[in-house]
């Protein structure tokens, strides 16, 4: 299903073979029409040939994925998603460039400083004048359509992401939980995602 606007939010920019420690993927870059942000899809195998390919829609987290921060579970989730796709032999990871739930790196670090003073992640964003989550999943929906992915098994704990992709016309065969081991630095963060944002830290369920 194409959204009622009929407008595509991204255009395909480039692609190449991308060998990784998880296997050799096909990397596609998409440019967002309105913002100019560049998003990435890592594809393994033939998505069109898969009845229900594994799929992860993942938002950028420089601190967790590049610097190894223990304040979140982003780096662990990214690694786990790629491992599961590799084990399945086919699937896609869509990597959206929307740092800090859409507020950007500078504001995310300001939010971290507020969390050090005792606020949780939702309260910190709100004190800075933002909603708890400003991310858009429309680019991911358009990327998945461009790639020809059929009904997907979506690796996520976030019900808002699940609902947004469905609203943008992506068929979800099943949600699959993707849970990282907690640590002393991120336990409060994970509790807030569960208790205040409704994240589903439980076994997978049929959609």
Q: Which of 34-48, 69-83, 140-154, 183-197 is predicted with the least confidence, judged by mean pLDDT?
A: 183-197
| CA atoms within 13 A of residue 66's CA, in its CB half-sphere | 5
Residue 186 lies in a domain: yes
The mean per-residue pLDDT over the stretch 107-120 comes to 95
Catalytic residue among 73, 133, 142, 168: 133
Note whether 16 and 87 are same-domain residues.
Answer: yes
Note whether 118 and 150 are same-domain residues.
Answer: no
Entry field: residues in the chain: 207
121 marked as binding residue: yes
Assign 2 a pLDDT band (cuts: 50, 70, 90). Answer: very low
Q: 27 pLDDT exceeds 90? A: yes
Q: What pLDDT, on the 0 to 100 scale, is given for residue 6? A: 65
Assign 207 a pLDDT band (cuts: 50, 70, 90). Answer: very low
Residue 1 lies in a domain: no
Residue 3 lies in a domain: no
Residue 4 lies in a domain: no
End residue of a domain, out of 134, 155, 188: 134
Note whether 20 and 92 are same-domain residues.
Answer: yes
Residue 5 lies in a domain: no
135 is known as an active-site residue: yes
101 marked as binding residue: yes
71 marked as binding residue: no
The mean per-residue pLDDT over the stretch 51-78 comes to 95
Q: Report the CATH number that the domain containing residue 166 is assigned in CATH.
A: 3.40.50.10990
End residue of a domain, out of 109, 134, 159: 134
Catalytic residue among 84, 135, 153, 175: 135
73 is known as an active-site residue: no
Residue 206 lies in a domain: no
**Containing structural domain, residue 111:** 100-134
Note whether 31 and 121 are same-domain residues.
Answer: no
20 marked as binding residue: no
The mean pLDDT value of the chain amounts to: 91
Residue 2 lies in a domain: no
The mean per-residue pLDDT over the stretch 61-83 comes to 95
The number of folded domains in the chain is: 2
Note whether 116 and 86 are same-domain residues.
Answer: no
Note whether 147 and 180 are same-domain residues.
Answer: yes
DSSP string, 57-107: EEE--HHHHTS--SSSSHHHHHHHHHHHHHHHT-EEEEEE--GGGGT-HHH
61 marked as binding residue: yes
Residue 14 lies in a domain: yes
Note whether 104 and 79 are same-domain residues.
Answer: no
- Please write the tens of the pLDDT for every residue from 160-200: 999 999 999 999 999 999 988 888 898 888 888 888 877 88
Note whether 148 and 61 are same-domain residues.
Answer: yes
Strands annotated E in the chain: 10-20, 23-32, 38-44, 54-59, 91-96, 152-155, 172-176, 205-206
């Amino acid at each position: 299903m194409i959204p009622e606007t009929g407008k595509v939010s991204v255009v395909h920019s480039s692609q190449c073979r991308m060998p990784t420690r998880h296997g050799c993927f096909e990397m596609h870059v998409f440019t967002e029409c309105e913002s100019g942000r560049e998003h990435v899809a890592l594809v393994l195998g033939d998505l069109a040939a898969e009845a229900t390919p594994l799929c992860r829609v993942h938002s950028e987290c420089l601190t967790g994925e590049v610097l190894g921060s223990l304040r979140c579970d982003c780096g662990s989730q990214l690694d786990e998603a790629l491992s599961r796709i590799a084990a399945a032999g086919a699937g896609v990871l869509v990597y959206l460039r929307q740092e800090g739930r859409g507020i950007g790196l500078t504001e995310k670090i300001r939010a971290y400083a507020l969390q050090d003073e005792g606020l949780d992640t939702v309260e910190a964003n709100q004190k800075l004048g933002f909603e708890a989550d400003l991310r858009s999943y429309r680019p991911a929906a358009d990327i998945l359509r461009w790639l020809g992915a059929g009904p997907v098994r979506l690796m996520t704990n976030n019900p808002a992401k699940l609902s947004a992709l469905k609203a943008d016309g992506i068929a979800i065969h099943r949600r699959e939980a993707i849970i990282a081991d907690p640590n002393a630095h991120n336990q409060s963060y994970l509790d807030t995602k569960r208790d205040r944002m409704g994240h589903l830290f439980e076994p997978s369920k049929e959609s």
